[in-house]
Amino acid sequence: MYKDPSLWRVANNCMKKRTTKPPKQNVNISRRIFADLEAPEFVGCPANQSLLIPFSSAPTVVRWIPPTAVDNDRDGGVNISSNANPGDSFNIGMQEVTYLAVDSSGNQNTCSFVVFVEEDEPPTITGCPEDISLDNLPGQGFNFANWTVPNATDANSIPTLVSNYDPGALFEIGVQSVKYTATDNLGSQATCTFSVTVSDVEDPVLTDCPSRVIVYVQTADLDAAVFWTPPTATDNSGKVDVVSSFQLGQRMGRGSIMVTYTARDDSDNIDRCNFRLSVRVNSGVSSDANILLQRVRGEDAPFMNITGFDQTIFEDLDKLFRGSEIGSAFFGLTVDGIALDDEGLAAVALTLFSDPDAGLGDSDFESAFDSNLGGTLRNTFDVDNQVPAFRDFYVGNDICDDACLNGGNCTRVDRDTVQCSCPPEWTGDNCETGTLEPVYSSLGSLGHTYTPVTTKLDKLFRGSEIGSAFFGLTVDGIALDDEGLAAVALTLFSDPDAGLGDSDFESAFDSNLGGTLRNTFDVDNQGMTSATMLA
């Protein structure tokens, strides 16, 4: 039945005594039992594995075809195990892989092979250039750099050598990195890096710097918005910042200063130019004109709340002419009057002053006005003074003047109406009525609470001419007479060094009320005798 019966042996000889009755006799029985002594056999045990992998790529995956095993006991089967499997990762070096086959009788056999992983040495680069430093080409923001290409070798192959720049390449101002990379047939790489620095050694250039700028005003107490044609800055790098010690359009009074322009590039190279700026007094010759304005700074009907002389209008118009093409011959202006029509448009009456040698006329002023506004406003420069005479044309004052009393703020609602915003102590259309009176007329509701009266009287004295010496007060009692007037009994506290008397308190009280209320400062404390006290 089996190939080699000699591998079988008698496992056991048994003698068993059996007794039968009757007759009695002895029977000897013997039996042969055979054991499996043959180990399994491996089929396809892998040969030793040797791998050369790219530099710095360990661990690496190793694959092989696993072996199989056969056994003489075809019914028992074979169990195969190993200390490594195909697809496992192996580090650099040598590792033995062993397969173990065990059959059902416990017979064993092994299959072993070696996995040898070797790291490929990267290529070698020689002759890597040193860092290169260059100045920019004259008038340019770059230079060209040259060098000798390095050499790359490898023990196992001819490596490829590539770089991000080639000799003779253009390099702009600044620092750039040049990198050579050598790669062998396994993908192992070596690099060589050096820098190319192009320094900007040229200063910026300021051209057309003014030689001198002179601006005129009519009188020594006036200032002017000053303008000039600024210099032009260029630089070989294409990037330059320009700053001035005095700004275009800035206002300046009579006198003289030195204006400095500084041009600076990114490498801190600089150029400067200076000129003298002077504001002088010269009345010049005058020309009158009217201007009809509809919009200013994007605001509809901006002159509804205008005052007779608005400093903003004066400065804006002065700046407009000084920044125009006639600016060098413009000496200033005065705002002589402003009028509003029913649509809220404003007519501004001006007197314009200019250099008599320039011979400026109405058309010159009109052109300067229109061109410098840039067409963003609808305006008419009335060179012939034909703007309609409005019925409330005013010079110096308008309907807001003195309309609000006692520190009230006036707002012009339309050309004929104002609205007053009154301080807390005053009320009425024109802030003419003190709020103390209605408080006193309803004192019966106060009971023992004098806080509103105390607060208002304390504020009155502290805001008067004796305020610095006034330390406070107490309201000791309040009485009403038949007319609803109030007598208030006070205790006043003051700085003893100030030596204040009844007349000082009376004067402070009356003067700070402004005479708009009927009050009597009862210095002799007689006001309480004919009234009922509110205790």
Check which CATH number belongs to the domain holding 337 and give it: 3.30.70.960
Report the percentage of the chain scoring pLDDT > 70.
Answer: 69
State both tokens at 168: 């003779």
Tallying the residues shown for the chain, one arrives at 535
State the CATH number of the domain containing residue 224. Answer: 2.60.40
Last residue of a domain, one of 259, 281, 303: 281
Last residue of a domain, one of 224, 246, 281: 281
Q: Kindly tell me if the per-residue pLDDT of 519 is higher than 70.
A: no
pLDDT in tens, 435-465: 644 333 334 444 444 566 677 777 778 888 8
Residue 239's pLDDT is 93
Looking at the fold, whether 272 and 348 belong to one and the same domain comes out as: no
Confidence of residue 141 (pLDDT cuts 50, 70, 90): very high
Residue 331's pLDDT is 87
Residue 272 within a domain:
yes
Residue 163 within a domain:
yes
Task: Report the distance separating Cα 291 and Cα 294, nearest Å.
Answer: 10
Looking at the fold, whether 147 and 181 belong to one and the same domain comes out as: yes
Looking at the fold, whether 440 and 530 belong to one and the same domain comes out as: yes
Looking at the fold, whether 212 and 302 belong to one and the same domain comes out as: no
Task: Report the distance separating Cα 69 and Cα 368, nearest Å.
Answer: 108
Looking at the fold, whether 429 and 445 belong to one and the same domain comes out as: no
3-state helix, strand, coil in the chain (%, to 5): 15, 40, 50
Looking at the fold, whether 463 and 517 belong to one and the same domain comes out as: yes
pLDDT in tens, 340-371: 555 555 667 778 888 888 888 878 887 887 77
Looking at the fold, whether 246 and 331 belong to one and the same domain comes out as: no
Quote the domain boundaries for residue 412: 400-434
Residue 240 within a domain:
yes
Residue 20 within a domain:
no
What's the mean per-residue pLDDT of the chain? 77
pLDDT mean over 27-53:
82
Residue 31 within a domain:
no
Residue 57 within a domain:
no
Are the C-beta atoms of residues 118 and 53 closer than 8 Å to each other? yes
Last residue of a domain, one of 250, 281, 312: 281
Looking at the fold, whether 134 and 169 belong to one and the same domain comes out as: yes
Q: Which amino acid is at 514?
A: G
pTM for this prediction: 0.47
Residue 448's pLDDT is 41
Q: Kindly tell me if the per-residue pLDDT of 204 is higher than 90.
A: yes
Task: Report the distance separating Cα 449 and Cα 378, nearest Å.
Answer: 61
Residue 54 within a domain:
no
pLDDT in tens, 269-301: 999 999 999 999 887 777 666 565 544 434 444
Confidence of residue 136 (pLDDT cuts 50, 70, 90): very high
Number of domains in the chain: 5
Looking at the fold, whether 421 and 462 belong to one and the same domain comes out as: no
Long-range contacts of 187-191 (CB under 8 A, 24+ apart): 187/54, 187/57, 188/54, 188/55, 188/56, 188/120, 188/121, 188/122, 188/123, 188/154, 189/55, 189/122, 189/123, 190/122, 190/123, 190/124, 190/125, 190/152, 190/159, 191/125
Residue 98 within a domain:
no
pLDDT in tens, 411-443: 766 556 778 988 877 888 888 876 644 333 334
Residue 243's pLDDT is 96
Confidence of residue 217 (pLDDT cuts 50, 70, 90): confident
For the chain, helix (H) and strand (E) counts, in that order, are 5, 37
State the CATH number of the domain containing residue 406. Answer: 2.10.25.10
* DSSP β-ladder status, 142-145 and 169-172: antiparallel
Residue 170's pLDDT is 97
State the CATH number of the domain containing residue 168. Answer: 2.60.40.10
